């Protein structure tokens, strides 16, 4: 009986530890931020390509969430991706983080790894918020170098009329009323981390329910996403959560109006509702293409790589066309955008 109890204790201890990260992939490098934080990054693709695509991952993920886009686009452009601070192989911060910090990091990544030439930014979820925050605080990059943007399963912080509970929570967060609760969670995080169970059936079910749509049924993708979400510490979860809840990057949208933009979402995204993509596309105007994938959830770049990659290649076609005809106004895919938006009902 004592032996069985000890065996169960060992199993529990092993399940409270994250899986170790595999060896760093080819092309790995580091980027040092102004405050000394070191970020892990990876450079690949066509070395002398005229355009560089920078991929910005979402909350609690790391670079591998873009594996299928990395492989597809790497035959055409130079590619860069990196782990946010407190994620993946990058240094971790002890204090709270803001999306503004991540935007400053992105500016440094571009400055050090893409010092010249046109840039296309792809942001998924929190990565999209980071791109929009970059547009607010580093507008010069969009005026001079950014030539295209893809916003995947993300939002700019619009208030959606049909989501009263979400709107109330967003308002409370922006008023700072969640500050004490988030501080308590940050203080408790180190202790809770020691007993936090991983690789449980409950967490796997929650990942499936929250991140995937009814049309997303690949078990391997579910397993990978489940592992990704459990890798970061609870401190990372609590350090950024307040900033994400307060997210309001609507003022970044005007900086994108002069470049081709892809706004892409799944109709069953439960984390960033599709209405947010509709509102962003409406604000961006004729230069934006809105694509909504029926039955897809939040991690559409992993569950629907064929559709996502095809749209990203179309975005690059538009970037190439804009470079050849720089004085022509942005007009594209209005029919696709309107048809899909009208066909979808919340």
List the chain domain ranges.
25-343
DSSP state letter for 211:
H
**CB of 96 within 8 A of CB of 246?**
no
pLDDT in tens, 80-93: 999 999 999 999 88
- What does the alpha-carbon distance between residue 82 and residue 69 come to, in Å, rounded to a whole number? 14
- DSSP string of 57-109? --TT--GGGGHHHHHHHTTTSEEEEEPPTTSTTS---SS---HHHHHHHHHHH
pLDDT in tens, 70-123: 999 999 999 999 999 999 999 988 777 889 999 999 999 999 999 999 999 999
Q: Alpha helix (H) ranges present in the chain?
A: 2-15, 67-73, 99-113, 126-137, 139-144, 164-174, 179-195, 201-211, 219-230, 234-245, 274-284, 300-303, 305-324, 334-343
Q: What pLDDT was estimated at residue 340?
A: 42
Q: What pLDDT was estimated at residue 257?
A: 94
Q: Is the pLDDT of residue 305 over 80?
A: yes
Q: What pLDDT was estimated at residue 327?
A: 56
Question: Average of pLDDT values for 166-177?
Answer: 68
- What does the alpha-carbon distance between residue 173 and residue 147 come to, in Å, rounded to a whole number? 33
**In this structure, what token pair is assigned to residue 198?**
């991983």
Superfamily name with CATH number, domain 25-343: Alpha/Beta hydrolase fold, catalytic domain (3.40.50.1820)
Q: What pLDDT was estimated at residue 331?
A: 52
Q: pTM for the full model?
A: 0.86
pLDDT in tens, 281-292: 999 998 999 999
Model confidence at 161, pLDDT cuts 50, 70, 90, reads low
Average pLDDT of the chain is 85
Q: Is the pLDDT of residue 250 over 60?
A: yes
H or E element, residue 41: strand 38-45
pLDDT in tens, 60-73: 899 999 999 999 99
CA atoms within 13 A on the CB side of 306: 0
- DSSP string of 112-142? HH--SS-EEEEEETHHHHHHHHHHHH-HHHH
Q: What are residue 120's phi and psi, to 5 degrees?
A: -115, 130
**Exposure b/e, 229-267, CB count within 10 A at least 16 = b:** bbbbbbbbbbbbbbbbebbbbbebbebbeebbbbbbbbb
Q: Is the pLDDT of residue 306 over 70?
A: yes
């Amino acid at each position: 009986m004592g032996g069985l109890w000890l065996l169960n204790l060992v199993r529990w201890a092993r399940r409270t530890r994250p899986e170790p990260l595999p060896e760093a992939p080819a092309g790995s490098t580091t980027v040092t931020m102004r405050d000394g934080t070191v970020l892990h990054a990876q450079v690949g693709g066509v070395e002398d390509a005229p355009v560089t695509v920078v991929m910005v991952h979402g909350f609690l993920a790391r670079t591998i969430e873009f594996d299928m886009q990395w492989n597809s686009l790497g035959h055409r452009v130079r590619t860069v991706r990196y782990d946010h601070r407190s994620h993946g192989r990058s240094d971790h911060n002890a204090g709270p983080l803001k999306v503004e910090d991540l935007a400053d990091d992105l500016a440094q990544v571009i400055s050090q790894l893409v010092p010249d030439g046109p840039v296309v930014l792809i942001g998924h979820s929190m990565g999209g918020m980071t791109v929009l925050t970059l547009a607010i605080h580093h507008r010069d990059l969009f005026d001079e170098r950014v030539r295209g943007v893809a916003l995947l399963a993300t939002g700019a912080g619009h208030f959606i009329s049909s989501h009263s509970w979400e709107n109330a929570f967003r308002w409370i967060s922006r008023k700072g009323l969640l500050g004490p609760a988030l501080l308590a969670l940050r203080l408790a995080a180190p202790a809770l981390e020691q007993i936090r169970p991983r690789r449980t059936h409950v967490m796997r079910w929650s990942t499936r329910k929250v991140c995937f749509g009814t049309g997303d049924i690949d078990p391997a993708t579910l397993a990978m996403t489940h592992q990704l979400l459990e890798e970061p510490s609870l401190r990372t979860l609590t350090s950024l959560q307040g900033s994400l809840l307060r997210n309001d990057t609507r003022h970044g949208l005007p900086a994108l109006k002069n470049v081709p933009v892809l706004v892409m979402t799944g109709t069953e995204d439960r984390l960033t509702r599709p209405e947010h993509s509709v509102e962003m596309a409406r604000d961006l105007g004729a230069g934006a293409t809105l694509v909504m994938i029926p039955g897809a959830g939040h991690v559409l770049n992993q569950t629907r790589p064929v559709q996502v990659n095809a749209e990203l290649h179309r975005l690059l076609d538009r970037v190439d066309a804009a470079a050849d005809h720089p004085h022509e106004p942005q007009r594209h895919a209005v029919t696709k955008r309107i048809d899909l938006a009208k066909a979808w009902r919340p």
